[in-house]
Amino acid sequence: MSLTKNDVLAVLKEIPATKGGTNLVDANHVKNVLIFGDEVVVEVISESPALHVKKKLEVDILKVIHEKIDKKLKVEVKIEVPKAAEERANLIRGEALPGVKNIVAIASGKGGVGKSTVAANLAISLKSMGFSVGLVDADIYGPSVPTMFDIENARPGTITVDGKSKMDPVESYGIKILSIGFFAKADQAVVWRGPMASKALNQLLRDAHWGELDFMIIDLPPGTGDIHLSTVQAVPISGAVIVSTPQNVALADARKGVAMFKVENINVPILGMIENMAYFSPPELPSNKYYLFGQGGVRNLANQLQVPFLGELPLVQSIRESGDVGRPAALQEGTAVQKQFEEITRNMVSELMKRNEELPPTEVTRITTMAGCSAVNK
């Protein structure tokens, strides 16, 4: 067949542009199409510098040309990001933290759904799998991580790195931890405006010596606000996890939490949703499940929003008690609760590896092997 540029442009109209709600051709995002026998070179524009967005664009172009024209064609895709888009991204996404490989934000639409408890136990589960883990308590106005790790009276040390004085995070159960709670008295309210709170968070992240970490877990405050935007501006977030209980009032806010991370100026991949307090099983009737807040609400919402469902956690007294005494429930070896946290953690790592295109294949294999999930190499 005699292939023409118009033939290629016709099929490229089936691919949405990365910005503007139209297709690549009508958005003028196709810079050039070159044809050399059975070789096709497509030069296009991506309005997003995010690796996963550019990768999806490349895959979509390859797929549509091979399916609609000829699967034997050799196709090369060249993607250019406009300077203005790069500059916007640089304003939004901070530089990587030295030595920190993956940063996962734990968020919730509303308070009281157990977000901090989940964040603490995910960190413990990752550590038990052999990963090096850091935990940042970014809930500036209501820090609870020091209580959950029994380090309320601890204070970060100082360490000199390359001639600069840095905070040395507090370590508990092998996890490096920083929280605004270390710098405020137990009965002292943190009454700060947004810019001051954001500055404090930036110091927790950047003025500390974290060393080499496989994962940093950031426990965000509930809702959507300054701290969330400041976190995305401060460091490149690998992905976000949304925690919610199954009742409608919580789900409405969880939906907003997912939408926040999908906003163009934030654009953080959603690794999945977790349903907390999913059901209650009395100790004397462990096989019985009572769905006090409704059944399957988070799972159904995840399906509607087309994001992964990572798992559910029961309403169990031992989870509350373990948090109160400073020993997270995921440390309870051999219990059902520990196994549930480990399964959710494996699911989270698996989803992260699917989206992490910056890591070399050997690193993807190492992380997924340690987590006990299937390695994904795109």
The answer as to whether 376 is a domain residue is no
Q: What is the CATH number of the domain that holds 28?
A: 3.30.300.130
pLDDT at 320: 83
Q: What is the CATH number of the domain that holds 137?
A: 3.40.50.300
Of 90, 125, 150, which closes a domain?
Answer: 90
Contact between 355 and 52 (Cβ < 8 Å): yes
pLDDT at 92: 44
Residues 154 and 50 in one domain: no
Residues 127 and 226 in one domain: yes
Of 69, 90, 111, which closes a domain?
Answer: 90
pLDDT averages per 10-residue partition of the chain, 378 residues: 87 87 89 91 84 80 92 91 62 68 88 89 94 90 86 88 87 93 66 66 85 92 69 80 90 87 80 91 80 87 93 86 86 89 94 76 78 61
pLDDT at 52: 62
Number of structural domains in the chain: 2
Residues 340 and 194 in one domain: yes
Of 90, 113, 140, which closes a domain?
Answer: 90
The answer as to whether 377 is a domain residue is no
Range of the domain at 25: 5-90
Residues 106 and 185 in one domain: yes
pLDDT at 359: 67
pLDDT at 378: 41
Residues 85 and 110 in one domain: no
pLDDT at 20: 72
Residues 130 and 84 in one domain: no
Residues 307 and 211 in one domain: yes
Indicate yes or no: pTM above 0.75.
no
